[in-house]
Amino acid sequence: MQINRYIYSFNYENTESELCKLESRYIFNKEEKNKLLFSDIKAEPSSSAFVKKRLDIISFSENYSTLINEIKKKSICIEGFKVEYLVFDGDTTEYAERLKKLKDIGFSIEGIPDYYSPTITYALCYYEGIWYFGILIKNNFAWHKHKQKPCSFSNSISISIAKALINIAAKTNKEKKLLDACCGVGTIMLEACFAGNNI
């Protein structure tokens, strides 16, 4: 079975749907579906206004028990870990059952968990008949503070649009040199600098 290395989950308003799909095509060469996208392309979630999380797949199986056995075989040993359950479209697993499965994962990892300040976060999810387990990387949303400006400009573009335009131009390549025409208030340039792009 051929499985991509990463699962991306998205979050956006209905008015931003087309912009998100456009950004997805430039970063991943395909559009998200049901606010999910499977890809072998590694992208930092915080570089996008729409990517909420990335799951770096470690193990997968159509059978849940087989997945647990695979995790145990990896002999993962780490202190301060945390495990989350990601609910994707079509997953009807009840809350109590999700908690039970999280315990199964926790008991398969050697180490003491830390639910409040984890050193690493793992995640379990179910989508279209397959169970996935991996390392969870979240969008830190540090860029949200850029919405709080000392002065408001009614004609300036939003942060979400600025981040999308940067990703469309650079395709998450931080080494690619970008040129800003500086015809506005600098939203795109500042966001690109914050993201570590070469301006």
* Domains, the chain: 6-138 (3.30.2130.30), 142-195 (no CATH)
Task: Please report the pLDDT score of residue 147 as a whole number.
Answer: 62
Are 122 and 84 within 8 A, CB to CB?
yes
Task: Please report the pLDDT score of residue 197 as a whole number.
Answer: 74
* pTM of the model as a whole: 0.86
DSSP secondary structure letters along 124-181: EEEETTEEEEEEEEE---GGGGGG--SS--TTSPPHHHHHHHHHHHHTT-TTSB----
Are 83 and 112 within 8 A, CB to CB?
no
If residue 195 lies in a helix (H) or strand (E), which one and from where to where?
helix 187-195
Coil, strand, or helix at residue 108? coil
Identify the burial level of 2 via C-beta atoms within 10 angstroms of its C-beta, where 0-12 means exposed, 13-18 middle and 19 or more buried.
exposed
pLDDT tens digit sequence for 20-64: 999 999 999 999 988 999 999 999 998 888 999 999 999 999 999
Are 55 and 125 within 8 A, CB to CB?
yes
Task: Please report the pLDDT score of residue 117 as a whole number.
Answer: 95
Coil, strand, or helix at residue 53? strand
Residues of the chain with pLDDT under 50: none
Identify the burial level of 107 via C-beta atoms within 10 angstroms of its C-beta, where 0-12 means exposed, 13-18 middle and 19 or more buried.
exposed
* All residues at 6 or more sequence positions from 89 whose CB lies less than 8 Å from its CB, including other chains: 34, 35, 36, 127
Task: Please report the pLDDT score of residue 176 as a whole number.
Answer: 74
Task: Please report the pLDDT score of residue 123 as a whole number.
Answer: 98
Coil, strand, or helix at residue 197? coil
Task: Please report the pLDDT score of residue 72 as a whole number.
Answer: 97
Task: Please report the pLDDT score of residue 103 as a whole number.
Answer: 97
Task: Please report the pLDDT score of residue 171 as a whole number.
Answer: 74
